[in-house]
Structure 1
Amino acid sequence: MTSVADYVLERVRGWGVDRVYGYPGDGINGLLGAFGRAGDGPEFIQARHEEAAAFMACGHAKFTGEVGCCVATSGPGAIHLLNGLYDAKLDHQPVVAIVGQQRRLSLGSSYQQEIALEQLFADVSEYCQMITHPGQARHVVDRAFKTALTTRSVATVIIPEDVQEEEAQPSPPKQHGSVYSSIGWSRPRVLPDATELRKAADVLNEGAKVAMIIGQGAAHAEAEVVEAAELLGAGVAKALLGREVLPDDLPFVTGPIGLLGSKASDDMIRGCDTLFMVGTSFPYAEWLPDEGQARGVEIDIDGRMIGIRYPMEAHLVGDARETLRELIPLLHRKKDRSWRKKIEKDVKEWHRVLDRRAHQSFDGKVNPQSVAAELSPRLPDRCILTADSGSGTNWWARHLKLRKGMHASLSGTLATMGPATPYAIAARFAHPDRPVIAFIGDGAFQMNGMNEMITVKRYWDRLAGGPPLVFCVFNNQDLNQVTWEQRALAGDPKFPGSQDIPDVPYARYAELLGLKGVYCDDPKKVGAAWDEALRSDRPVVLEFKVDADIAPIPPHITLDQGVKAAKAAVRDPDGVGIATRGVRQKLTDLTGHLKGGRGSA
């Protein structure tokens, strides 16, 4: 007998899914048995926690463009999926979650592990359906995948235990109520109205100082973005989810924008007279032009979000590549290139500032900026980069210069802690021939990253022996990003009771698992530590003992932030240290050299 569970996995395989990330439980016993019988796949990949499984599914979607898939048992297992699924929803990634439910007979009785799953998953899912009859399985699974792909979001399929075990009905009886669906989907060609295209071209052609911001929606439009920027004499800033769209060695790419952004991006936005946003929903008004300062044009495939972040004159609802191809013939090459020349000069100066900041050290401690700065020229071709949420994200965003062919992502909109490690594991499963490097704060590594090193051990034969797989941990014993936010946004000193975390020997922990551990606490040996990690024949935990008092200085500081930070520093337990480092770091914006030279204390 072919069970519903067998049929569901066969249908999932038909949608091109090679592996499903999850954790077992008796609520999915039928599915687990089916995985064991599924000789042609999909393969069950055992994470240490359902949250990590959902992150892995999201990471798979980000680094392949395919649907990611995860599975969890009923009750607590299903609940654990939510954070990873919200990460996928908010970053617009297609993920299908399959979850178990108690037997139909017990539903409504407050049975053990009985949760109202359809209500629980209603907000995170664009489509959520429970299969209550074997004849439903075909169209529910098909519609879940079609919905995830069409809406670039999450779809959830709920299957009670007893339904999993019933005999499958691949072709329901030909009667009223039966539905016959098919596997298949194609990406639509979405174009804006021709009149709106001409309006957009007029705005852009009339602008003298055009600033572009791109996001992940421009991922397949690299050539078109470059051509438009060249015609318009524009600079291009990148939202964090759009990091990989353009390489950082293009002279007009100003780098990241926002709190974690570059001064070159900030100066461009503050000086522009025209804003051109492509495939991004960058939300922070304080890093966009003042209302009325700039005219606006936006391209976004989601008409619900067009013109929501800044008042636009032209609203181009369409695919970024297709829309740019229609728009570019209407654009005029700007003869005055002074705006572009200024942007390129600012980019060069910003890179010099970053270099000077990274090569400062204090009290013999490793400057966390130097960790990223030393890696940047060592980045292997075609590498995949992941980052967690924390102060290390600043250095990942600013100091790593991506080249063509590299991929990079993080939790952009949810900005949750925890995804860097599972993203990296999923990336390695999907691309075993590519180097993978994750940037992780010690807080996130303690939260769930250390557990997922056991997953690396579990799949040693699959994850070792290839290109580098490196988990870089910033050990500063501080939940550092929040500490700085307390100082600058709330005017409060660091509260050790909430911010201090234990000092854990992460590199030694890796060695206990049979992985390679590399430890560095010497500012002069940062580069050598990277060299050792990148030539390892096994997965590496690379631990840097870094200075917690190096501030993630934003491109500009408001008067209110400055007052609050100064107020906090007076009462802060690290007040002297952060004052000394802050002054020295900020001076790099003004001078090309510091007394005592590079690396001086």
Structure 2
Amino acid sequence: MSGTVSDYLLYRLSQWGVRRIYGYPGDGINGVMGALRRNSEFQFIQSRHEEMSAFMACAHAKFTGEVGVCMATSGPGAIHLLNGLYDAKLDRQPVVAIVGQQASTALGGHYQQEVDLSTLFKDVAAEYITMVTHPSAIRHAVDRAMRIAQAERTVTCLILPNDIQEQPYESPPMKHGTVHSSVGYSAPRVVPQERDLRRAADVLNAGGRVAMLVGAGAMRAAPEVLEVADLLGAGVAKALLGKAVLPDDLPFVTGAIGLLGTRPSWDLMMGCDTLLMVGTSFPYSEFLPPEGQARAVQIDLDGRMLAIRYPVEVPLTGDSKETLRALIPLLKRKEDRSWREGVEKSVRKWWKVVEGQAMVDANPINPQRVFSELSPKLPDRVILAADSGSTANWFARDLKIRGGMMASLSGNLATMGCGVPYAIGAKFAYPERPVIALVGDGAMQMNGNSELITVAKYWREWKDPRFIVLVLNNRDLNMVTWEQRVLNGDPQFKASQELPDFPYARYADSIGLRGIRVDKPEQIAGAWDRALESDRPVVLEAYVDPDVPPLPPHISVEQARNFSEAVLKRDPKAAGILNQSIKGMVERLKPHKS
């Protein structure tokens, strides 16, 4: 084709199916911006910050399974991408970063904004990073970046000096020293060897109390997970990235596991004699069965992730869906269902506890109640994006996912500030679906407020205007405050933990969105109704109590001791946290009787 290298870049990306790029302009990428102006096939989404562009690209990959693409200028713009790109890398999402660079004639001359981008990105884009130094090289650079991002489920990076961007594109000549690539990638069918499947089946068939743990890698294997769970009479716990794998209304689904998990998931792991892990890299070994208690089978597409979280007797390298399909004919249905019945009883009791704890009085609002009141009102096919912090606790425990919904958050990086840009990325991918971001005030002040400007700029393009940002306004970096108490035995350090109050709802009104503020528990249900019926995006600001403890399902002796020490050291919130902790413990012992 004729045109510049930048024109060809977009042409080649379009052949790969890319139609949307998230980014922020700058003179280091002006050649590509000019090509975007000339190309009507592409939608360029201007974020308020390059990090947000990378989060949006990561969200696109998570919610669609496609490659997300983000773009930034040279120097500082490229640097800003890094946190969002690491989020994609650690959660194994295919994202291509396109970054500008100073003119190739100036490189090595300590030129303004000259940063060694190949070194800067060599970890986050370790599988593929290249600087295009000749017009004909753009073809194979794009092809390899796209193909490797998909094949390795990772981040790749293209560096484009700004003089190369504007040169005429040249097809590579058919001679020595040139590369002639093509478009296209098909994921392989990866299934373990038959002998290993039989070994795995022998372990699972021999078990009397089988637990399953599923993660994001099982997202497209829900029917197979259900069939295996039924055959084995297993309870199923979900890693946080796998919250949407199975609906929470299934009686044998114990919900989240780990620090943000449920008591039934803890009991499931502590009581099982056999463990089947599917598509998960859940990191916290203290929430898995004690070593030696359970025989284990693990399925993961990446063989490097096998047998590093728990001693596994049969590690199976394979796609979750295909491997479970191959395993099912080898499994024997367990006639004794007493283990499953016990799991279901535990789950029923837990949901009563959760519902009761959400209704415990707080000052002024119990944050759990905000989520509990939302749960039955969640629209069909809603997409949920949760931020890191105490909001992730209530997202994990209080929201019941139904079939057809999607949900995600920053799993392995657990970075703050992803909730609103994730929701924006989801909304552009699915403009006809309702989207809800669940965010704390720390994350909202970090970058969520600024990205509301992005929402205000684009929302009229969305087919369904339902886009809600829930902000828990507790004036506290709450998760870290509780970690200081429980993990370190330190009282709240006000200098680091207290946040300034901010009128989130009024701010939304001021930029043309709708703001709803609630500071009484009886207002919550009506507020959700108004937000879900709104004709424009909504910020729902809930003024909540920071003293409600987001404690794990099992408290160790050391954690209890640390908590006591924090209170005895005159934590400034001692009276409030003791009051709320006692109420929560009473509710666990006698649900609905506090």
Q: TM-score, normalised by structure 1?
A: 0.98
Q: Distance in 1 between matches of 2:168 and 2:147?
A: 25
Q: Distance in 2 between matches of 1:459 and 1:225?
A: 39
Correspondence for 2:38: 37
Shift of 1:276: 0.6
SS of residue matched to 2:128: strand
Q: Distance in 1 between matches of 2:147 and 2:109?
A: 34
Shift of 1:250: 0.8
Paired amino acid for 1:231: L
Correspondence for 1:350: 350
2:420 maps to 1:413: no
Give the paired residue count: 591
SS of residue matched to 2:163: helix
Aligned pairs (5 A) from 1:284-363: 284-363=284-363
1:521 to 506, 516, 519: 519
Q: Distance in 1 between matches of 2:30 and 2:466?
A: 36
Q: Distance in 1 between matches of 2:22 and 2:376?
A: 34
Paired amino acid for 2:382: C
Correspondence for 2:198: 198
Correspondence for 2:449: 450
SS of residue matched to 1:563: helix
Question: Are the equivalent residues in 1 in contact too, given 2:362–2:548 (CA < 8 A)?
Answer: no
Correspondence for 1:564: 562
Shift of 1:592: 2.7
The C-alpha deviation readout for 1:265-319, integer Å capped at 9, x for no partner, is 0001010111110000111011011110111000001001111110011011000
Shift of 1:195: 1.0
The C-alpha deviation readout for 1:350-386, integer Å capped at 9, x for no partner, is 00000000001134x1100001000000000000000
Aligned pairs (5 A) from 1:365-514: 365-463=364-462, 466-514=464-512
Question: Are the equivalent residues in 2 in contact too, given 1:471–1:542 (CA < 8 A)?
Answer: yes
SS of residue matched to 2:316: strand
Question: Are the equivalent residues in 1 in contact too, given 2:24–2:72 (CA < 8 A)?
Answer: yes
2:187 maps to 1:222: no
Kindly report structure 1 stretches of 4+ aligned residues shifted beyond 6 Å: none
Aligned pairs (5 A) from 1:27-106: 27-40=28-41, 42-106=42-106
Shift of 1:461: 2.0
Question: Are the equivalent residues in 1 in contact too, given 2:459–2:465 (CA < 8 A)?
Answer: no
Correspondence for 1:598: none
Q: Distance in 1 between matches of 2:428 and 2:339?
A: 45
Shift of 1:462: 1.3
Q: Distance in 2 between matches of 1:448 and 1:483?
A: 20
Correspondence for 2:161: 160
Q: Distance in 2 between matches of 1:353 and 1:300?
A: 34
SS of residue matched to 1:459: helix
SS of residue matched to 2:304: coil
Correspondence for 2:111: 111
Aligned pairs (5 A) from 1:109-188: 109-125=109-125, 126-169=127-170, 171-188=171-188
Question: Are the equivalent residues in 1 in contact too, given 2:381–2:405 (CA < 8 A)?
Answer: yes
Aligned pairs (5 A) from 1:9-20: 9-20=10-21
Q: What is the root-mean-square deviation in Å for CA atoms of aligned residues?
A: 0.8
Shift of 1:467: 4.5
Correspondence for 2:577: 578
SS of residue matched to 2:254: strand
Identity of aligned residues (%): 60
Shift of 1:460: 3.2
Q: TM-score, normalised by structure 2?
A: 0.99
SS of residue matched to 2:105: helix
SS of residue matched to 1:380: coil
SS of residue matched to 1:582: helix
Paired amino acid for 1:129: T
Question: Are the equivalent residues in 2 in contact too, given 1:429–1:462 (CA < 8 A)?
Answer: no
The C-alpha deviation readout for 1:166-187, integer Å capped at 9, x for no partner, is 0001x21111111111110001
SS of residue matched to 2:298: strand
Paired amino acid for 1:566: S
Question: Are the equivalent residues in 1 in contact too, given 2:133–2:164 (CA < 8 A)?
Answer: yes
Q: Distance in 1 between matches of 2:538 and 2:592?
A: 36
The C-alpha deviation readout for 1:536-571, integer Å capped at 9, x for no partner, is 000001000000000002111000000000110122
Shift of 1:593: 3.4
Q: Distance in 1 between matches of 2:178 and 2:434?
A: 48
SS of residue matched to 1:21: strand
Paired amino acid for 1:260: L
SS of residue matched to 1:341: helix
Q: Distance in 1 between matches of 2:59 and 2:552?
A: 28
SS of residue matched to 1:106: coil
The C-alpha deviation readout for 1:107-137, integer Å capped at 9, x for no partner, is 1111110011001000001210000000100
Q: Distance in 2 between matches of 1:221 and 1:362?
A: 40
Q: Distance in 1 between matches of 2:458 and 2:155?
A: 27
Correspondence for 1:599: none
